[in-house]
Amino acid sequence: NAGVTQTPKFRILKIGQSMTLQCTQDMNHNYMYWYRQDPGMGLKLIYYSVGAGITDKGEVPNGYNVSRSTTEDFPLRLELAAPSQTSVYFCASSDRTGIYEQYFGPGTRLTVT
């Protein structure tokens, strides 16, 4: 089982560029989440999805977009990157029928300069 995979692991963007962070899970989980973690801080929820075709905003959604066309994939789109989006991004998934534990991907370290 691969669990939750994220690509890329690292990326440097210039201000104003766009990119998509990929997230895939193979556990057939309905719930998926995108978080960002700034240095010395906890995780902040950007967007989440309760199932294919359904997405909703979290605590810090501005500057991001998501889509959920399949159960497995939950890409995060950054439009017009800004230095404030420099962070580590984690994708997670959970099975709401059980213990609600979130399984995290390895993270993507993004720098915007």
Partner 1 sequence: EDKVVQSPLSLVVHEGDTVTLNCSYEVTNFRSLLWYKQEKKAPTFLFMLTSSGIEKKSGRLSSILDKKELSSILNITATQTGDSAIYLCAVEGRNDMRFGAGTRLTVKP
Instruction: List residues binding partner 1 (CB under 8 A).
Output: 33, 35, 40-45, 48, 50, 56, 58-59, 90, 99-107
- Shortest approach of partner 1 to residue 90 CB, angstroms? 6
The residues near 40 (Cβ < 8 Å, ≥ 6 apart) are none
Q: Which residue carries 């990157």 as its tokens?
A: 81
* CB of 10 or CB of 16, closer to partner 1: 10
CA distance linking residue 7 with residue 53, whole number of Å: 22
* Closer by beta carbon to partner 1, 14 or else 42: 42
Judge if the upstream peptide bond of residue 8 is cis by omega within 30 degrees of 0: yes
Q: Which is nearer to partner 1, 82 or 103 (CB)?
A: 103
